[in-house]
Amino acid sequence: MALVERVMGKPIRGVNLGGWLVLEPWMTPSLFVNSDAVDEYTYCSAADSSVKKHLTQFRNTFITEHDFVWLAKQGVQAVRLPIGYWLYGDCPPFIGTKTYVDLAFVWAKKHGLKILLDLHGAPGSQNGEMHSGKAGDTGWHRNPINITQTLEVLGRIAKDYGHHPALLGISVLNEASPRIPRRVLVDFYEQAYTLLKASCHAEAWIVCSDAFRPGRWHRLFPQQQYPGLYFDYHHYQIFSWLDRLLPARIQLWRTQHTVPAKLRRMARHHPIIVGEWSAALRSGLLYERQEYYAAQVKAFGAADAYFYWNYKTEYGGPWSFRES
């Protein structure tokens, strides 16, 4: 079974299918009109039959086979598919999404794409952000039951998709908070790696979040002992106070010089992916954003894959690969 290979030394080119199976109000605002919901948990908690029908219609149409056809024509080789721990439909009030995951694998196989399944939302929330399914407290690591449940879900996912020919790999926990003690993450990553390595095809990638601290993993998980384990780095230059102050030309310089050096340092210790990035800037004209986009692609040369966030939003713009 051949995975997508680096061509002429270039990383795998991918996009995220965010906002589809894990809701984010800013990406799909039409779902949240006349609603006080701030995340998928509060959305589903208040959902009556008409709201549930609307959600089903949205999921039936936001991503379809036509999108996989279009992506393949653009030379995209893989998609990173965010999913929640509730995908099996047994975690109320969340509504299950496995039917759509199944369809994504059918479409990916048919059109020659690979899928990196990404556990975007974990029980208790691994980062307190809305894209974990429930905004607020970062409680994933405070209750051992949450970690056990996460491993159980990963086991079910591996059983269902671990030997699918379209599987690129499984990302075990998206954007783990840097406040989670490293020893907790190390123990979880070891258990998840052992579980998935035994349950997936030999070439499947097992991807771990760097928890926004890429330098903390250099001495851990040596490649000889953990073949197929990747670390996931997310790159944005839009959210920090520094990002708000710097003009586009300085942002471009950072991309051209600082980012490649950071990724090369990481790649000396582990294979890496850039699981999320975008061309969004707080300042800058269109041509500067285009330069910024191209500079990032070049900077990601040390990675084995990079995935644009996001494939599309309801309103386009720099967060939408489809509109770029």
Q: Among all residues, which ones are annotated catalytic?
A: 175, 276
Residue with tokens 């490293």: 182
**E strand or H helix at 93:** none
CA 41 to chain centre: 19
Query: ∠89-91-92 over CA atoms, to 5°?
Result: 95
CA distance 102 to 161: 9
Cβ contact 12:78 at 8 Å: yes
Which residue blocks in the chain are alpha helix, DSSP H?
Answer: 40-45, 49-62, 65-73, 98-111, 144-161, 182-199, 241-245, 248-267, 286-299
Helix (H, G, I), strand (E, B) or coil at 257: helix
Which of 108, 84, 107 has the alpha carbon at shortest distance from 96?
84
Q: Which DSSP state fits 195? A: H
244 CB-side CA count, 13 A: 3
Cβ contact 236:277 at 8 Å: yes
What values do phi and psi take at 306, rounded to 5? -140, 140
Helix (H, G, I), strand (E, B) or coil at 10: strand
CA 309 to chain centre: 8
What values do phi and psi take at 115, rounded to 5? -125, 130
Q: For residue 120, how many other CB atoms are within 10 A of its CB?
A: 25
Rounded CA Rg of the chain: 19
